[in-house]
């Protein structure tokens, strides 16, 4: 369907917003009140989307996003599937990285900071 509308037939990277929920309330976060919402995707929905993108659009890699993806209850299963389906050695995951930069951490009501972590194989 994307190809018919846009002419795009290959999408190399999928940025998958697993959920909006987060364990911090950083004033600089663009999600704002959406951080209180329930999970955006069930495990089956996340796997179905990754499968569709790989099979129909040749997607090679997935970056997992949130709110805070590390509070997503099925993160382990999603990471395992993303790695297996893409044959990648890692599944990059954007995180609030609570152990991160002290300068950013000071700006958050519960200690969060911006960052990115790569989950090893």
Contact 18, 75 (CB under 8 A): yes
Helix (H) or strand (E) holding 76: helix 75-86
Which residue carries 């999603």 as its tokens?
A: 78
Each residue's pLDDT, cut to its tens digit, for the chain (121 residues) gives 778 888 888 888 889 988 887 777 777 777 777 767 666 789 999 999 999 999 999 988 888 887 888 888 898 899 888 888 766 655 666 665 554 444 444 444 444 444 444 333 3
Helix (H) or strand (E) holding 51: helix 43-57
pLDDT confidence of residue 67:
80
Nearest CA among 37, 67, 41 for reference residue 52:
41
Tell me the C-alpha distance between 104 and 115, whole Å. Answer: 10
This prediction has a pTM of 0.71
């Amino acid at each position: 369907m994307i190809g018919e509308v846009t002419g795009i037939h290959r999408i190399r990277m999928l940025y998958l917003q697993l959920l909006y929920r987060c364990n911090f309330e950083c004033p600089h976060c663009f999600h704002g009140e959406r951080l209180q919402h329930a999970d955006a995707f069930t495990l089956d929905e996340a796997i179905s989307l990754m499968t569709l993108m790989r099979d129909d659009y040749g997607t090679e890699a997935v970056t997992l996003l949130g709110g805070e993806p590390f509070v997503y209850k099925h993160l382990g299963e999603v990471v395992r599937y993303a790695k297996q389906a893409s044959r990648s050695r890692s599944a990059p995951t954007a995180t609030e990285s609570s152990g991160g930069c002290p300068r950013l951490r000071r700006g958050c009501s519960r200690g969060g900071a911006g960052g990115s972590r790569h989950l090893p194989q």
